A and B are shown apart, each in its own frame.
Chain A
Amino acid sequence: MPGGTKEYLLKRILIGLVMVPAVIIFTFILLKLAPGDPAVLMAGETATKEYIEMIREIYGLNKPLHEQLMIYLGKLFTGDFGYSFTFKRPVLNVILERVPTTLLLAGTGALIAIFFGIVLGVVAAIRKDTVADNVISSLSLIFYSIPIFALAQFLILFLVIQYRLFPLSGYVSIGVSPDDPINYVRDVLWHLALPSISLALIQMATYVKLTRTSMIEALYSNYIIAAKARGLKWRRILFKHALKNALLPIITVAGIQLGLIIGGVVITETIFSWPGVGRLTIEAIEARDFPLLNGIFVLTSISVIIANIITDIIYTYVDPRVKLR
């Protein structure tokens, strides 16, 4: 690694670590700003008087504001996100259980989007200003503008209701158990298809546009012209020289997309009843389960912060020229 990179990464990680208490303090402020009694909010509107008093006691809501904040920070930092009154279990356990299914959905969606986004972007760049380019560019802009809750329903209307090609909802069919690995994996993938394609379609436009722009830039740059002049094979120039450079911005954008796609995940999981964190968010909303919602917000924020740090680390490795302040 070139000099300065280590310092840069260290600083980046430090800023990330500062963000975590900032997120927690921020939720505390929101809670305090909320109209009504925070103890009732944390206990649930249907809670008994005794339970509300207990919550008030646990969170020290009768104490001065700074003490309340310290208690709150202490609890969240030790992983105590409170108690979900709908699930009757600690919030952290309820959320962690759902994380793998969400990662599967979001990860598959992102991979499909990145792969096809790059392929279509390269095709559009090579065939710049032809019919193919125009079709790819217009279609990706249209998909970029369709809200996911409309797109996913069209997929359901045609592929589930009309042609019955895919299962309606859920994660796995009833009766298929993990004891039969081959069938289990096949069944999960079959359920995964529509939600992950929906998620991929709305993200793809960003990658298509980005790849196309940077490929065109690369193809007209001096080093590519020089490579052509040296008589290198076109295919080699395209993939080894041009694409490699064009891919750099994709890494940055993939990191940013992660934060943006969470809204899409919430809606997709709701539509397809995919049992992940997004669906859990809606369950928490419907029950006004505030501790659960709070936990989801803090934990998703932390994952986005971590993902951004990882993106930065990968980026500095891939492109050693980067030495941001």
Chain B
Amino acid sequence: MAISITLLSIIVFLGLTAGVLTDKEPLRTGYAPGLTEPSSQFPMGTDQLGRDIFSWTLYGIRTALFVGIVSTGLTVIISILIGLPAGYFGGKLDQLLMRVTDFFLSIPRFILIIFAVIIFGPTLTNIILILSIFSWPTIARIVRAEVLSIKEREYVQAAKVLGSGNLDIMFNEILPNVMPPVLVAAALQMSDAILVEAGLSFLGLGDPNTASWGRILAIARQAIYVGGWWTLLFPSLFITATVLSVNLLADGLNDLFNPKSVR
């Protein structure tokens, strides 16, 4: 947990101070005549079109975290709005939720996301919305399962007897106790969202106006054949460190909430 928070803080700090750490713009071509190795002027070198990898990688942190945080936030909100009433009221609503989640869990998500991005266009907003809309079923199921066990507990029954309304019980009594497993799942969802966005950009389906690690790595495909290892190494380090620290955070949260689980 300590490692992941330290690592994540460093990454967030670098992302926020990108504007101070470099005076170069990401994605702007012509800083150098061609593929240039790392030097004091270009700490991570440049690509074939003379774009500065250092600035691109730093601004890439912002894109990755923005996509990760916003899409995960949306996913969690949708999951709660659907999973909470489904678990609480049961019946038809619950049946419907289960069938819809069955559906989404039995189709290949990455291909679905590609499909939707092609149809609606590769803008950052679209990518975030598509990611959220196609990712909520897993977390909604977790919410539902938790609600099913929590709603039978005494304090919830007590609140009911005391005349609390359904909304009040759902959001004030049940929701806070549903959150621990949801937070673990949300952390995993966030690392997944970062990977999917980078994957889309790698395939040329990212937003062309944002600095994404996936796109540098697509450029690396040609650059590594002519000695440009730096186009591969630095963005790879950053994306791996980011995803790793978020995954470690999920592990840490899981241990925190389930201290008895086997390690």
Contact = CB atoms under 8 A, between A and B. Distances in A.
B112 A266 contact: no
A271 B103 contact: no
Given A142-B240, A157-B224, A293-B118, A150 B217 contact: yes
A153 B196 CA distance: 17
Nearest to A151: B236
Contact of A262 (B105, B111, B119): B111
Contact of B240 (A16, A146, A263): A146
Interface in A292-325: 293-294, 296-297, 300-301, 304-305, 308
B221 A271 contact: yes
Interface residues of B, number: 45
Contacts of A13: none
A34 B130 CA distance: 13
A158 B110 CA distance: 29
Given A145-B191, A263-B110, A301-B106, A285 B118 contact: yes
B104 to A, nearest CB: 10
Chain B binding surface SS class? helix
B239 interface: yes
Interface string A1-45: 000000000000001100100110011001101110000010000
A34 B224 CA distance: 38
Nearest to B195: A147
B36 interface: no
A216 interface: yes
A239 interface: no
B117 to A, nearest CB: 9
A84 interface: no
A305 B118 contact: no
A9 B205 CA distance: 40
Given A153-B217, A161-B225, A282-B203, A147 B262 contact: no
A97 interface: no
A259 B240 contact: no
B214 A161 contact: no
A267 interface: yes
Of A34, A41, A150, A296, most buried by chain B (CB within 10 Å of CB) is: A150
A115 interface: no
Contact of A217 (B112, B116, B191, B262): B262
Nearest to A146: B240
B47 to A, nearest CB: 14
Interface string B201-232: 01111000000001001101100110001001
A297 B112 contact: yes
26 contacts: A22-B103, A30-B115, A35-B120, A35-B121, A41-B119, A145-B240, A146-B240, A147-B217, A149-B202, A150-B217, A150-B235, A150-B239, A153-B217, A153-B220, A156-B224, A157-B232, A213-B262, A259-B108, A262-B110, A285-B205, A293-B115, A297-B112, A297-B115, A300-B108, A300-B111, A305-B107
Interface of B: 102-103, 105-112, 114-116, 118-121, 191, 195-196, 198-199, 202-205, 214, 217-218, 220-221, 224-225, 229, 232, 235-236, 239-240, 243-244, 247-248, 251, 262
